[in-house]
Structure 1
Amino acid sequence: MTPREASEKEAGAPPSLGIGMVGYAFMGAAHSQGWRTAGRVFDLPMRPVLAAICGRDEDAVRAAADKHGWAAAETDWRALIARDDVQVVDICTPGDSHAEIAIAALEAGKHVLCEKPLANSVAEAEAMVRAAAEARSRGQLAMVGFNYRRVPAVAFARQLIEEGRIGRLRHVRVTYLQDWLVDPEFPLTWRLKREHAGSGALGDLGAHIVDLAQFVTGESVVGVSALSETFVKERPVLDGASAGLSATGGTRLGPVTVDDAALFTGRLSSGALASFEATRMAAGRKNALTLEINGERGSLSFDLERLNELQFHDHTEPAPLSGFRRILVTEAEHPYLEAWWPPGHALGYEHTFVHQARDLVEALAAGTDPAPSFADGLQVQRVLAAVEDSAAKSAVYTSVPPPSGTSGLSGTEG
């Protein structure tokens, strides 16, 4: 027992939980907010401590540490994993490094939280699931970060479906539309390179909507028929690389090797039909994620731009009363809301990461498997792979391998 742990035990305070995070950009900032805030809102059985943050640029990672409240900064993720004050390794890096870092952290006896998509390929995701299963026998736990599960309205939608409020499912429609790639002069960043990102809008946005469809319905996608497109084939290069470049008017261009947009239909394990759209080329749409589920007894509809609301239609009501009604999901009885503000006081995007941190800490303290598990992340990866395979064959229907064992398509709210 360390002096700090002895002092905490004597004072009756919850034991500390040292967090080490790899990556410090957009997702790093969001995860920092979650870790920094969770213990100040919820009564947690363990107290998250921001022990160390890691990035390759020493000046930039030191600035991120100072800005977000991390006690130390590292420039080598291996050094971060080796730290005695780190019990959880949080991975917020591009997808090409997820498997290596996660497997090394689990083998070193650390718990792991890994951002979505779990990996860049099914093979990498399978290796991560095997490592997580082996680590589980030693007491280490692993979770993948699908933060939109933690929107209270989304968690409430799942609850209503579990209760049978809309009956047998018939249709699921999910879209995720952004426009940050509409400008052909947007530079060739890592998200536009297959070797780093794995895929484009499909992995970046499609992973979210596949997970949401499976989470809210409690079912698996069993097959897909897909189309994808890369609208801008080349983009300006900023890093000075020369391989595979062309020149137009003095601008050095490099090939875009991922999709700009993906459209696919699918079938769920119950036989319900589903449609999905993911694009970063929808002019005017900034972060437009929508979900609608139709059942034999009613429907549910969610829009991330109105994330404190859920639309619910009860089709068993008399026709004069029938129609969608708005539910403001801010009551203490709604998922995650018991510790926040009085009813009617809205939450935002950043709160999903607070809820994610809370769920993981509670699972670690209880020794229970957190959700979504690495196996859940693998199931999403298999759907994405089937989408790519179908799109390559001009929308040929492609089956998705079933979940391996108990994948844990389970809720996150107890």
Structure 2
Amino acid sequence: MTLEVGVLGYRFMGKAHANAMARLPMFFPDAPEIERSVLVGRDEDALSDAADRLGFSSISTDWAEVVDDVDVFYNLGPNHVHAEPSIAALEAGTPVFCEKPLAPTLADAESMAEAAREAGGDVPAGCAFNYRFVPAIRYAKRLLDDGELGEIRHVRGRYLQDWLVDPEAPWSWRNDEEMAGSGALGDLGAHTVDLLRFLVGDDDLAGEIERVSGHLQTFVDERPVEGETPEESRGDGNAVETRPVTVDDAYSAQLAYEHGAMGTIEATRAATGHKNDHTIEIHGSEGSLRFSLERLNELEVLRSDDNRGYETILVTDEDDPYVDHWWPPGHVLGWEHTFVHENYEFLSAVAEGREFAPNFEDGLAAQRVLAAIEESDDRGEWVGLE
């Protein structure tokens, strides 16, 4: 059986997932056969060009005509269009794969998770936390599940980017609360929260996050409309057009876990010199580990009985997670390969009619943490999670 796939969105994430789908039959021969059937967007001309480049056989400017006419629906649009199309697809019995954060608001995320529950476990609803599928992260998960770090005492997560350092960087939907929900908090913090939940968020390790204390900050209050800078004029004698920034540029938070572990997490889009620095540290009674997305083939591991300090493990051997599908040891993988792994797992779950993780419940759990961090900033005090 060939799965017909419909995809909403054709820019950054649309390209990443279309590339992954194209790679699947080359490197994962047991992956289900798929057809990139329909690409969905608003601008018909741009959509036609994107469909040609990304390998889709048709286009549509109306997602409502697509969600019940394909076997799988990918929602890769901006955050504010996550809820309605995803819920409609699930109500039609169509499996859904939605980009993170699950929704711009906690209320929308709750509605999406409820729709997934009502659709049932044989209609997978996946949330796109692709960093779970980095081989080094899977290696770290195995170490933690085997108890090699002992009792988890402290976790740290940071996600640093610099694409909004310049106050003249143009405004985009990611700067708008109505469309994005939040800024660095949702865009980057969602990844950190999910990775920490994946790695240590069960009762055998640190358990779930119990309460948070958060701080959000916006450094630049307005930005020019794309294509213009403050030095330019529109030609009518008036100042250049700008739009307000209504989300955070950066956040930080403290975490308290159920079993006594503590954590600190932060993210910013204004960290000069950092392009995509997502770093995770986990410290236990018997050892520690460190991971950086900018060195995603490596995992640093320290064991308390080894006085040589941290060991850098190059996670590229054939017996490492997913790597048997790729290249000889030492021939490293990259960011794009995480999407291949993610699509393989999700589409296999669809073909087999079984559940997939991370799912909408995982997306909702992350959203609850993000909402609590935002509430803590508003109230100036610790906030508990239900």
TM-score, normalisation: structure 1: 0.87
User: Which of 197, 200, 224 matches 1:217?
Assistant: 200
- Rounded Cα–Cα distance in structure 2 between residues aligned with 1:153 and 1:180: 26
In 2, the alpha carbon distance for the partners of 1:143 and 1:119 equals: 13
Q: Which residue of 2 aligns with 1:232?
A: 220
**Structure 1 residues 181 and 274 mapped into 2: Cα distance closer, same or farther (>3 Å)?**
same
Pairs within 5 Å for 1:207-286: 207-218=190-201, 219-238=207-226, 250-286=239-275
* Residue in 2 that maps onto 1:175: 158
Instruction: Tell whether the 8 Å contact from 2:155 to 2:283 is kept in structure 1 after alignment.
Output: yes
The alpha carbon displacement at 1:249 in A equals 7.2
1:156-182 C-alpha deviation (Å, 9 max, x unpaired): 111110001111101101000001111
Amino acid of the structure 2 residue aligned with 1:59? D
Residue number in structure 1 paired with 2:282: 293
Could you say what the CA RMSD is over the residues aligned between the two structures, in angstroms? 1.6
TM-score (ref. length: structure 2): 0.94
Residue equivalent to 1:344? 330
Partner of 1:397: 382
Percent identity over the alignment is 47
CA–CA distance in 2 between the matches of 1:76 and 1:238?
A: 26
Task: Pick closer, same or farther for the CA change 1:45–1:284 going to 2, 3 Å.
Answer: closer
CA–CA separation in structure 1 for the residues paired with 2:334 and 2:130 = 12
The unaligned stretches of length 5 or more in structure 2 are 202-206, 229-236
Contact 1:21–1:91 (CA under 8 A) maintained in structure 2? yes
Aligned to 1:310: 299
Query: Which one is further off, 45-54 or 202-211?
Result: 45-54
CA distance in 2, matches of 1:268, 1:374: 22
Matched, 1:21 2:10: no
SS in 2 for 1:208: helix
User: Aligned partners of 2:242 and 2:20: how far apart in 1?
Assistant: 38
Deviation string 1:285-325 (CA, Å, 9 cap, x unpaired) is: 111111110000001100111100000111123x3xx3100
Does residue 97 of the first structure (1) align with residue 86 of the second (2)?
no
Structure 2: distance between partners of 1:221 and 1:34: 33
Q: 1:239 to 1:126 in 2, by over 3 A?
A: farther
The answer to whether the aligner puts 1:156 opposite 2:139 as a matched pair is: yes
Name the CA distance, whole Å, in 1 between partners of 2:34 and 2:257.
Answer: 38
Give the alignment partner of residue 142 of structure 1, picking from 112, 121, 125.
Answer: 125
Within-5 A mapping of 1:369-384? 369-384=355-370
The Cα shift of 1:72 comes to 1.0
- Secondary structure at the aligned position of 2:266 is classed as strand
Deviation at 1:336, TM superposition (A): 1.0
Aligned residue for 2:34, secondary structure, equals: strand
The runs of 4+ residues in structure 1 deviating greater than 3 Å are none
In structure 2, what is the equivalent of residue 406 of structure 1? none
C-alpha contact (below 8 Å) 2:24/2:31 kept by paired residues: no
Q: Secondary structure at the match of 1:350?
A: helix
**How many residue pairs were aligned?**
373
Paired with 1:116 and 1:206, the residues of 2 have a C-alpha distance of 10
- 1:107-122 maps to which residues of 2 (within 5 A)? 107-122=91-106
Q: Cα offset for 1:368?
A: 2.2
Q: SS where residue 110 of structure 2 aligns?
A: helix
